[in-house]
Amino acid sequence: MAVRKVVHIPDPVLRKKAHRIQRFDDPKLQALIDDMVETMLEAPGVGLAAPQVNVSQRLIVVRLPDDEHSREEYGEDAGVLHIVLNPKIIRSSREMVDGVEACLSIPGIYGTVSRHEAITVRGQDRHGKPLSIKARGWLARVFQHEIDHLDGVLFIDRASEIWRYEEDAAGETVETALDESAERPA
Ligand code: ZN
């Protein structure tokens, strides 16, 4: 396994529609999956989509943290590793919730994004076997964010508000709102 380089905007791979995976017994695909898990954990991040490591294929990995706080907050979702190939949202709640998102491909930028509170994701496991996952809350948000990546959509496209955190010369964190008229870092 190896940590792969995460690409940042404006890399064009992040804007492409990724290809459906057809062959599962491919050693390169299996190595990619292992590398993506390692890259996500090392970052650390809660999700990663293949285009973020410069591979335009429909594959995501998701894992909420499993520290004590996360176990309280996310219950049995904490620390569960999800590997989903060709994921598709087949059902989504009418209820929408606002939450703050960030992305390993857009360093330093945060935004408020409205997402479905609950979804059902259908896809395949790493061997091509069909799977279905019901997710709510933050897990549902992470799935929606990662599946968007497979269609070239980034959270900044959907955010109602975007801001940047930076450290000034004195090491203080400065928050700057990025105004709607400013060019978005897409
Ligand atoms: Zn992202």
- Each residue's pLDDT, cut to its tens digit, for the chain (186 residues) gives 799 999 999 999 999 999 999 999 999 999 999 999 999 999 999 999 999 999 999 999 999 999 999 999 999 999 999 999 999 999 999 999 999 999 999 999 999 999 999 999 999 999 999 999 999 999 999 999 999 999 999 999 999 999 998 777 888 877 888 755 444 443
Q: Give the Å distance between the CA of 142 and the centre of ligand 1.
A: 9
pLDDT tens profile 64-95: 999 999 999 999 999 999 999 999 999 999 99
What pLDDT score was predicted for residue 174? Answer: 79
Q: Give the Å distance between the CA of 128 and the centre of ligand 1.
A: 24
DSSP characters for the chain?
--PPPPP-TT-GGGGSPPBPP---S-HHHHHHHHHHHHHHHHTT-SEEEGGGGT--BSEEEEEB--SHHHHHHHGGGBT-EEEEEEEEEEEE-S-EEEEEE--TTSTTEEEEEEEESEEEEEEE-TTS-EEEEEEEHHHHHHHHHHHHHTTT--HHHH-SEEEEEEE-TTS-EEEEEE-TTSPP--
Q: Give the Å distance between the CA of 69 and the centre of ligand 1.
A: 23
What pLDDT score was predicted for residue 184? Answer: 44
Domain 12-183 has CATH 3.90.190.20: no
Query: What are the residue ranges of helices labelled H in the chain?
Result: 27-42, 68-74, 137-149, 155-158
Q: Give the Å distance between the CA of 130 and the centre of ligand 1.
A: 24
Q: Where are the domains of the chain?
A: 12-183
Catalytic residue IDs: 146
